[in-house]
C-alpha cells in the first residue's frame, strides 16, 4: 500500500525489449539504496517489482520489468530515456497516512487537457490541472474526494462528470513529474479504493433487493416451492 505522497522523482535511463516484457532502468538517487530485490515500488502510480538493484555496481539505480498488460493500460507506455517518473516506497505499518490509500493498481489513463498557472509570471503560483477521465472510472470520482494522478494523492476540486479539475500547490508542481507534462499526455489515474468498494457494495445490495422482490407467491408456486 502507498499513500500518494511522492518521495522522489527519478528519471528513466533505458527502456529495452527483453522477450515478452519491457525492461526499464530508473535513476533514483535517494530510494535505490533502500531497495532490495523483489521489493515493491510505485513508479508514477504503478506498483512494480524492483529487480536488479545497483546494477553494475551503480548504487543510484534499479531495474524493473513491465508486462504487456502494464504497458497497454498505463502511461508507462510513454516511457523513454529521460522521462521523469514519480517514486514512492510502500508505507510501513503504523506510519501516519498523510495522503490516502493508494494501491498502485491503475484504473485507467486520462488525457491531460490543461495545466495552467493561477498567477502567470509568479514562480510561487498554484496551478489548475484538468484531465479527461475515461468512462470506466467516472462513477468512482466525486467532488472533494481523493484521486491518484501519476501516483500523487490529490483532491478533486471540480467534477462535471467527464473532466476532473485539481488544484496543484507549488510544492507538488515542483517536486513531481507534473511539471514535465503537456496537454495531450496520458496520465495514470487510480480512483479512491474505499469509494470504489463502497460503490460495488451498494450495487450488490441493490441487486439483492431486486432478487428478493421477485420472490412473489406466484413465482414460488411456478418454480415448485
CATH number for the domain harbouring residue 127: 2.40.30.20
The count of domains in the chain is 2
- The mean predicted confidence, pLDDT, of the chain is 90
Contact partners, residue 57, CB within 8 Å, separation at least 6: none
Q: Is residue 219 part of a domain?
A: no
Q: Which residue has the cell 514535465?
A: 180
Q: Which domain holds residue 178?
A: 108-202
Q: For 57-90, what is each residue's pLDDT tens digit?
A: 899 999 999 999 999 999 999 999 999 999 999 9
Q: What is the pLDDT of residue 77?
A: 92
194 close to 101: Cβ distance less than 8 angstroms: yes
6 close to 87: Cβ distance less than 8 angstroms: yes
Residue 71 vs residues 25, 37, 64, 117, 215: alpha-carbon distances, Å: 15, 22, 13, 31, 47
Q: Is residue 22 part of a domain?
A: yes
Q: Is residue 30 part of a domain?
A: yes
Q: Are residues 124 and 178 in the same domain?
A: yes
Q: Are residues 187 and 138 in the same domain?
A: yes
Q: For 5-50, what is each residue's pLDDT tens digit?
A: 999 999 999 999 887 789 999 999 999 999 999 999 999 999 999 9
Record the pTM. 0.86
Contact partners, residue 176, CB within 8 Å, separation at least 6: 6, 9, 86, 150, 152
Q: Is residue 19 part of a domain?
A: yes
Q: Are residues 132 and 178 in the same domain?
A: yes
Q: Are residues 112 and 192 in the same domain?
A: yes
Q: What is the pLDDT of residue 150?
A: 98
Q: What is the pLDDT of residue 223?
A: 63
Q: Are residues 79 and 116 in the same domain?
A: no
Q: Is residue 40 part of a domain?
A: yes
Amino acid at each position: 500500500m502507498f499513500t500518494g505522497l511522492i518521495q522522489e522523482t527519478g528519471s528513466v535511463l533505458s527502456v529495452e525489449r527483453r522477450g515478452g516484457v519491457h525492461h526499464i532502468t530508473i535513476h533514483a538517487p535517494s530510494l535505490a539504496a533502500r531497495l532490495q530485490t523483489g521489493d515493491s515500488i510505485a513508479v508514477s502510480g504503478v506498483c512494480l517489482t524492483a529487480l536488479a538493484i545497483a546494477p553494475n555496481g551503480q548504487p543510484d539505480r534499479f531495474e524493473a520489468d513491465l508486462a504487456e498488460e502494464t504497458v497497454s493500460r498505463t502511461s508507462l507506455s510513454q516511457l523513454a530515456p529521460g522521462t521523469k517518473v514519480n517514486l514512492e516506497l510502500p508505507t510501513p505499518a503504523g506510519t501516519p497516512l498523510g495522503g490516502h490509500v493508494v494501491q498502485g493498481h491503475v484504473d485507467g489513463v486520462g488525457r491531460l487537457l490543461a495545466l495552467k498557472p493561477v498567477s502567470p509570471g509568479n514562480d510561487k503560483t498554484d496551478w489548475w490541472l484538468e484531465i479527461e477521465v475515461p468512462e470506466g472510472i467516472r462513477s468512482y470520482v466525486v467532488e472533494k474526494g481523493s484521486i491518484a494522478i501519476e501516483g500523487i494523492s490529490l483532491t478533486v476540486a471540480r467534477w462535471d462528470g467527464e473532466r476532473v479539475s485539481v488544484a496543484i500547490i507549488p510544492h507538488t508542481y515542483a517536486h513531481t513529474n507534473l511539471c514535465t507534462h503537456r496537454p495531450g499526455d496520458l496520465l495514470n489515474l487510480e480512483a479512491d479504493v474505499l469509494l470504489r468498494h463502497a460503490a460495488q457494495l451498494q450495487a450488490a445490495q441493490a441487486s439483492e433487493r431486486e432478487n428478493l422482490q421477485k420472490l412473489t407467491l406466484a413465482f414460488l408456486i411456478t418454480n415448485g416451492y
